[in-house]
Amino acid sequence: MPNFYRGVARERTFETAFLEYGVLHNLVRATGKRMWYLADPVEDNPDHSWADYRANYERTVVASLLFPDVWRFEVMPWPERIFCGRYPKVDITQRGGGPVGETEGVPADYATEVLTVINILNDMKQDDITWDTGTSGIGVLVSDTMMFQRGEPVATDPNCFYGLALPLLKRGVPVCPVQLENAHLRGYLAPYRLLLLSYEFMKPPSARAHQALAQWVRDGGALVCIGDGSDPYHAVPEWWNTAPVKYDRAEQHLFGLLGLGRGPAPGRHRCGAGVVEIVAAHPLSFATAPDGPERLLAAVRSAWAAAGHGDWRERNYLKLTRGPYVIAAVLDEGDDQPLVIRRWTVDLLDPQLHVGARKIVAPGQMALLRAFEPGAGPMVLASASRVTDLRAGADEVSFHSRGPAGTTASTRIALPAPPRRVAVTDGAGNSLPCTRQWHSRSQTLLVRYDNLPEGVRLRICW
């Protein structure tokens, strides 16, 4: 679905996915429940091409992996529509898409890529976490009432939310949607040092959230309140305007709890150890105006500095090291500098599992890498198959490899020395064909062979 940034409507799959996964994360965080993430290799709309599905899958799976305390995944809801489905050779939903009715099955390279990704998802419970992003601890408050404001008199434009979130995310700030309904939960607001709030596209479901927010501000938080009072839903009969409480707008109740009166002037206000920055503007303007991001960022930087939260950082990327895995997204529509990752890695989004000592990620591109040190083997670094029963000896390694029929397994193995023999056999011991390629600088071996549901055995001697 397209959204607006600097007045331009376009598909921004990574950014939208990152914010959507953030909503899900914050719905569950602090509740004691478990979260499972899904990135679907195809989508419900069957009229797109495999190239479209692949590009969007890579963006959504990278977005999902930027939440390191979520490590459970539903890898695909309907495997048959991936491995058995047929989709247009060209995207017939786009103008000039081409002939209708011409379809094709999953490309071999994409099947291999999907299998590689779903197998590394089994290894995402990692304790060693390192971030390289813009300033963290920033959130945009959201509520289920965003969905209530539709129909008459006017439906809320979802770009009100994107107007607050995208200017931050595009500068490498890992902004999180923060659920207003959960604000009262013990410790829920503790991870955040600055929150953005607007009631021009949602409303607080109860006064309880305001009590939690007021205490959070007095304890040192920075709250940026954005609104011009134009939303007709301010007048809906609700708790803030029903006797014995009588406020024209819900935020007036919050301002009263903060000791600011009902109508504080735009600008900065000190509240205990924290600050409130009031911006008299509609949040939609930050999405639809060319200078919207700069105006929004100016207010955020001002509140951040006034609260004494330290240096403010901006990047044109988000990068997370999660155990041996490096996950990165470089944002476009701004700084055009690429991200350069200088370490030995396997490219997990490449069906050939390319290895290199330097990875360049251009704006608008994603990276999902497996880092390693040459000579650290024997170990299986990545595979488009489920690898089990690994047995390592002084001069050989063997393991069981299993995957769907009709797909190709690419398996990258780190070895202490060049291989002298590579054998792939089925359950009866019959030899099966394979190709192999030794990369001397990285001391890794790439083996490609046909997957079998019952599995094959690989034995490598050096």
- pTM confidence score: 0.95
Q: Are 198 and 227 in contact (CB under 8 A)?
A: yes
* CB within 8 Å of 129: residues ≥ 6 apart: 68, 320, 321, 322
Report how far residue 323's alpha carbon sits from residue 325's, in angstroms, rounded to the nearest whole number. 6
Q: What percent of the chain has pLDDT over 90?
A: 92
Report how far residue 67's alpha carbon sits from residue 163's, in angstroms, rounded to the nearest whole number. 22
Task: Read off the pLDDT band of 212 (50, 70, 90).
Answer: very high
How much is the mean pLDDT over the chain?
Answer: 95
Task: Read off the pLDDT band of 154 (50, 70, 90).
Answer: confident
Q: Across the beta sheet with 325-330, what order do the strands follow?
A: 129-132, 317-322, 325-330, 366-371, 345-347, 355-356
The mean pLDDT of 134-147, rounded to a whole number, is 97
Ordered by where they begin, the domains of the chain are: 2-124 (no CATH), 138-306 (3.40.50), 317-371 (no CATH), 379-461 (2.60.40)
* pLDDT at residue 95 in the model: 61
Q: Are 450 and 409 in contact (CB under 8 A)?
A: yes
* pLDDT at residue 430 in the model: 96
* Residue 378, CA distances (Å) to 141, 368, 397, 415, 436 in order: 48, 22, 7, 5, 16
Report how far residue 28's alpha carbon sits from residue 23's, in angstroms, rounded to the nearest whole number. 9
pLDDT digit string (tens) for 403-422?
Answer: 999 999 999 999 999 999 99
Q: Is the bond preceding 266 in cis, omega lying within 30 degrees of 0?
A: no
Whether residue 310 has pLDDT greater than 90:
yes
Whether residue 67 has pLDDT greater than 70:
yes
* pLDDT at residue 100 in the model: 66
Q: What's the distance, CA 255 to chain centroid?
A: 34
**SS3 state of residue 156:** coil
Query: Phi and psi (nearest 5°) for 212?
Result: -65, -40
pLDDT digit string (tens) for 345-390?
Answer: 999 999 999 999 999 999 999 999 999 999 888 999 999 999 999 9
Say how many CA atoms lie within 13 Å of 268 toward its Cβ: 15
* Residue 347, CA distances (Å) to 22, 196, 370 in order: 25, 37, 7
Q: Look at the alpha carbons of 259, 264, 270, 275 in this order and tell me if their dihedral is positive or negative.
A: positive
Whether residue 40 has pLDDT greater than 80:
yes
Q: What percent of the chain has pLDDT over 70?
A: 98
Whether residue 334 has pLDDT greater than 80:
yes
